[in-house]
Amino acid sequence: MVVPLTMADLSQRAILLRDSLQKSTANTRGMVAILGSFDHRLSALDAAMRPTQVRTHAIRMAHENIDKTLKAAEVILAQFDLARQAEATILRGPHEDLESYLAAIDVLKSIVHYFTSNKNLKSSDGVLNHVNNLLAKSVVKLEEEFGQLLASYSKPIEPDRLFNCLPNYLRPSAVDQRENGKNHRSEHSAKSSEGAVYKPPTLIPPRILPLLHDLAHQLVQAGHQQQCFKIYSNARAAALESSLRKLGVEKLSKEDVQKMQWEALEAKIGNWVHFMRIAVKLLFAGERKVCDQIFDGIKIPKDQCFGEVTMNSVETLLSFGDAVAKSKRSPEKLFVLLDMYEIMHELQPEFETIFEGKACIEMRESVVSLTKRLAQTAQETFGDFEELVEKDASKTTVLDGTVHPLTSYVINYVKFLFDYQSTLKQLFMEFETGSETVSQLAIVTTRIMQALQNNLDGKSKLYRDPALTYLFLMNNTHYMVRSVRRSEAKDILGDDWIQRHRRIVQQNANQYRRIAWSKILQTLSVQGMNSSASMATDGGNSSGVSRAAIKERFKSFNMQFEELHQKQSQWTVPDQELRESLRLAVAEVLLPAYRSFIKRFGALVDNGKNPQKYIKYTPDELEKLLGEFFEGKN
């Protein structure tokens, strides 16, 4: 149990507490006095140290400035050293080591950038002038190197190299064989070009292209775009034009074309078709590829540059085609016009691709224009030919009634037309709308054949002998029918045309037989004789028929037959089957009548003097002599 404190105890404790507090206060005041003394001393020390601190900071800053200056000097000296090294490379030129030369140019550019950014340096203006002069010299040397590289590797391509890039069927040996074989062309050769593989030649070695690209890039960066453009276009244009000249391309005017003999012009047109194919598929395509590779990623008008390279060559090639298209029309030119139109139509999509861009628009338009002009001229030549056939006024008469030269010419012409079916269909599409091109070809062909028939009808009237008139018509119409049946024309003209003209052949044959043989057959007719003549015997005369009358009949027959033999053995039926058929038709009428006449009246002559004078031929001898008809013997 806790004993409660007395008042005295509490008083005693309060006194102790007060004394303790007084001592603590005194201690506190002593400490404050001590600390105040320290603060005063520290302030004095700081004041004493301040000048030393300022001097130390100034020394440190001075050291830092010296370090910065030394480092800046090292950089400037390094720039000077780089400039000296680059200058030595620039003065040596780019020919030996283009890569190092281009690196030196980059170094000089970086030096220019450095001193331009530090114009406060006293030496900056002098260094900049020197380095800029070096850069100017470097660009001149770059131009020279660019030109020298292009000149060294822009050589004309030899014709043999170009020929080896063509599909086999287009190489000279194959072309010569086709020409020597007189096979003007075939639909197969036209179709085979669709899948043909062309291998463009290497115009510039692949290892040189990157060098030319780097040089062009540096020239354009240096602001020498026009110089680069001119150097490139001049070098490549010269090489391209030289390649074409070696191939045989020559610039000919309309007047030159007009003066040429047809054989020479035909040969040049055949070559031109070949040259166009080589130029577009090999040379122009190759030039486009080279141009794109050299100027890839470079701010230069590539299309314009390519256009400058090819402009003269394109103009030379197209001007010849234009001169032919504008020259005087003639039937023999139709097929070469079709050849020219065909190659232009074939190459037109490639022209559009190769000569893309605004810079080449005039050349693309020239190609389209020439294609249409050739189509127009070919179509007009068609019309001319039809009119020429209709109005051919040549007085050339085939004395033997054989096939007229005009007929064979027109038929061969039409047969050649069908070698160009696909080309003709495309040509008709250039002008016709709303009608099938096949029917257009049929219409044109039918009109030409009808024009020929009309002309032959007129020529047949020149013969004095009506029999020869029909023989002539028979021969020529048969030639037309046979030729159509053996060619693709039969699919266009149709069976109705063939059957109709076969009937015309037969009608002319019948007319020939009627006119040529009706008179001689009358000499073998019993008409006009007394009916008792049929009862004549070997023993004597019939009261109704005189021996003299019978002799006269035989004499007349012999004379007419000999006249027919002499004349018609000189006539010609060139087709063997038709010739045999016509002889048989005559024999089937003549021989039975002759046998019958001899059987009835031969005895009257045999019993008289010189019977062989009147009955000169046996039926077998007559048949043998008929075998000599239509042989064209003089």
What average pLDDT does this structure show over 30-41?
A: 69
User: What whole-number distance in Å separates Cα of residue 355 and Cα of residue 362?
Assistant: 10
Domain annotation for the chain: domains and CATH numbers: 154-388 (1.20.1280.170), 392-514 (no CATH), 524-626 (1.20.1280.170)
User: What whole-number distance in Å separates Cα of residue 580 and Cα of residue 586?
Assistant: 10
Q: Which residue, 424, 343, 420, 342, is CA-closest to 186?
A: 420
Confidence of residue 563 (pLDDT cuts 50, 70, 90): very high
Helices (H), 300-436: 302-326, 333-354, 361-391, 405-417, 421-429
Q: Which residue, 306, 272, 291, 287, is CA-closest to 201?
A: 287
Confidence of residue 612 (pLDDT cuts 50, 70, 90): confident
- 334-346 pLDDT, tens digit per residue, is 999 999 999 999 9
Confidence of residue 66 (pLDDT cuts 50, 70, 90): low
- Lowest-pLDDT range, 70-84, 118-132, 218-232, 540-554? 70-84
513: left (phi over 0), alpha (psi -120 to 50) or beta: alpha
In this prediction, residue 181 carries a pLDDT of 39
Backbone CA torsion sign across 423, 426, 431, 432:
positive
User: Inter-axis angle of helices 333-354 and 302-326, to 10 degrees?
Assistant: 170
pTM: 0.74
Backbone CA torsion sign across 249, 254, 259, 263:
positive
- Longest distance between any two alpha carbons in the chain, whole Å: 222
Check residues 212 and 535 and name the one with the higher pLDDT: 212
In this prediction, residue 80 carries a pLDDT of 53
In this prediction, residue 544 carries a pLDDT of 57
User: What value does the CA radius of gyration of the chain take, rounded to a whole number of Å?
Assistant: 56
User: Is the separation of the CB atoms in 141 and 222 below 8 Å?
Assistant: no
* pLDDT reading at 381 higher than 80: yes
- 168-227 pLDDT, tens digit per residue, is 888 776 455 444 434 445 444 544 455 678 888 999 999 999 999 999 998 898 888 999
Phi (first) and psi of residue 600, to 5 degrees: -80, -40
CA distances from 41 to 28, 29, 49 (A): 20, 19, 12
What SS3 class is residue 391?
helix
User: What whole-number distance in Å separates Cα of residue 457 and Cα of residue 392?
Assistant: 12
What average pLDDT does this structure show over 536-551?
A: 62
